[in-house]
Structure 1
Amino acid sequence: MTISSTPVPVCGVVLAAGEGQRLRPLTETLPKALCPVGNLPLLDHALRRFAGLGLSGPDTVAVNAAYLAAQVVAHVGRRAHLSVEPDGPIGTSGGIGRLRPWIDGRAVLAGNADAYLHDPVRDPGKDVAALLDGWSGETVRMLTMPCRPGESGGFSGHRFAGLSLIPWRYAKDLADVDSSLVRTVWRPAEAAGELELIGYQGFYLDTGTPADYLAANLHAAGGVTLADVSARVTGAATESVLGAGSVVEGTVVRSVLWPGAQVAPGEHLVGAVRTAAGLTVHA
């Protein structure tokens, strides 16, 4: 579809195929894209952001899946076009390359499912609309944040912040093989003087590690306890996120309880993530 801020037809792709190795053991039985932040799966945050731009439905939005793909497929249902990589993840570039027949001449707004973004003054979608504003369809655009002190790499002192806008003339040449957008799109565009860096005005975290995943949840909680209506607290919970059906009979401080997780009487859980199976990961 064509978005009002650009005359170029654009589709959205949520990249959700990764194994989440840095987030293990949390991702041993649950895909990273389905890990909840603020009691909403990361994948749903991404789909909501696309919907805020007017991109929704299987004709306009695609989700790729590989690791524990059946869970991603079941979760997405008919909300988006699904692209399953049967032999395992083939990278951000390969994932888009596999979708070329579906993309069919459109530009691609590609978003990492594990990106947590929050703008306190703009709704999801509107917070990244600058990526599309006035775009000619010729350049590659990347949402960015300034590099942190001592951080190496990046692009002209900036780091990737979860979303990139890719013209069809770049997307059409992406192969269905294991590769990354860094190698096939971003660095070549940078070398050609065709990479535009668009600053993100809100808060961004790559939730790839337990520490950053916990930090994203605590940010979503906003300094208080964010509890699903079905969570039961007979103990105490401070600055935490409590999932559906979770039970707190002890004390929880700056932690995340996944749906169905429990904290027993007399137990003190601090700075950790706990699953329904009882797995506890300290960050």
Structure 2
Amino acid sequence: MKAMILAAGRGERLRPLTDRVPKPLIDVGGQPLIGHHLRALAAAGLRDVVINVAYRGEQIQRALGDGRRYGLRIVYSLEEPGALDTGGGIAHALPLLGPAPFMLISSDVFSDIDYGALAAARAGAEAHLVLVDNPVHHARGDFGLRGERVVDAAPRLTYAGVGVFAPHWFAGRSEPRFPLAAVLREAIDADAASGEHHRGRWIDVGRPSALAAARQGLSAA
């Protein structure tokens, strides 16, 4: 299974830090935030990774290179900053991802999700979402979970920014710019989305307090 890491965002809530460094390269425990995902993917046996880049994308490309130092093969999907949104960025990368379901990871999150188990269990998934307990900043949550079926109903959990998706959800759209959330809603409305509740470590590193928590968690480990 190939993996795609979303790394094109501006990181507005972490300014002024992200005025100089793109959020995926912010240091967390002596390595860039995105490096934790790359090491976890390599440890899980995944080898092919697509990373979309836009804001300060050249810094990300220089820092990570072709992925050899991580034991991976990295290719980059280049975007204009702010042009495509999350869903559009995935659609733009489809030629690099191929026809099979792929793992999708937001570079913004810091977690201990087992990518190997996810890939093995969901290799044929139409749409599979990893959900977590609602963080303080998103107390209302996103979706419900009934058994393994994701539903638009309470009680709600929060989408973890990690999942497995079939490419057809992103292909053939008339507009190049659209959010990932629109695809998630379509899959749920079609009763095609499965899910799981991850109860381990997970931090949305989108705010200074969350970045501090991620750093503190590693220093205490």
Tell me, yes or no, whether TM beats 0.5: yes
In structure 1, the residue matched to 2:28 is 37
Q: Relative to 1, partners in 2 of residues 1:199 and 1:173: Cα closer, same or farther, differing over 3 Å?
A: farther
Deviation of 1:167 after TM superposition, in Å, equals 1.2
Which one has a bigger Cα radius of gyration?
1
Among residues 56, 63, 66, which one is paired with 1:78 in the alignment?
Answer: 66
How many Å separate the matches in 1 of 2:10 and 2:174?
21
Aligned-residue identity in percent? 29
How many Å separate the matches in 1 of 2:132 and 2:81?
34
Corresponding position: 1:92 with 2:91: no
Structure 1 unmatched runs, 5+: 1-9, 120-126, 224-283
**Larger helix proportion of the pair:** 2
The letter for the 2-side match of 1:165 is: V
Flag as ranges the 4+ runs of structure 1 deviating above 6 A. Answer: none
Residue 94 of structure 2 contacts residue 167 of structure 2 at CA under 8 Å; is this kept in 1?
Answer: no
Q: Relative to 1, partners in 2 of residues 1:82 and 1:218: Cα closer, same or farther, differing over 3 Å?
A: same
How many Å separate the matches in 2 of 1:174 and 1:100?
12
Number of equivalences: 203
Deviations 1:67-110 (A, max 9, x none): 01110111121111011113445222111111111122121211
Q: What SS does the aligned partner of 1:47 have?
A: helix
Deviation of 1:131 after TM superposition, in Å, equals 2.7
In structure 2, the residue matched to 1:202 is 200
How many Å separate the matches in 2 of 1:212 and 1:134?
30
The letter for the 2-side match of 1:103 is: L
TM-score after normalising by structure 1: 0.66
Residue 93 of structure 1 contacts residue 174 of structure 1 at CA under 8 Å; is this kept in 2?
Answer: no
In structure 2, the residue matched to 1:135 is 122
TM-score after normalising by structure 2: 0.84
The letter for the 2-side match of 1:161 is: A
Which structure has more relative contact order (CA 8 Å, sep 6+)? It is: 2
In structure 2, the residue matched to 1:62 is 50
Deviations 1:124-168 (A, max 9, x none): xxx244433433624311111122578114111110113111013
Q: Relative to 1, partners in 2 of residues 1:64 and 1:91: Cα closer, same or farther, differing over 3 Å?
A: same
Among residues 20, 24, 31, which one is paired with 2:11 in the alignment?
Answer: 20
In structure 2, the residue matched to 1:222 is 220
Structure 2 unmatched runs, 5+: 68-73, 145-155
Aligned-CA RMSD value: 2.1
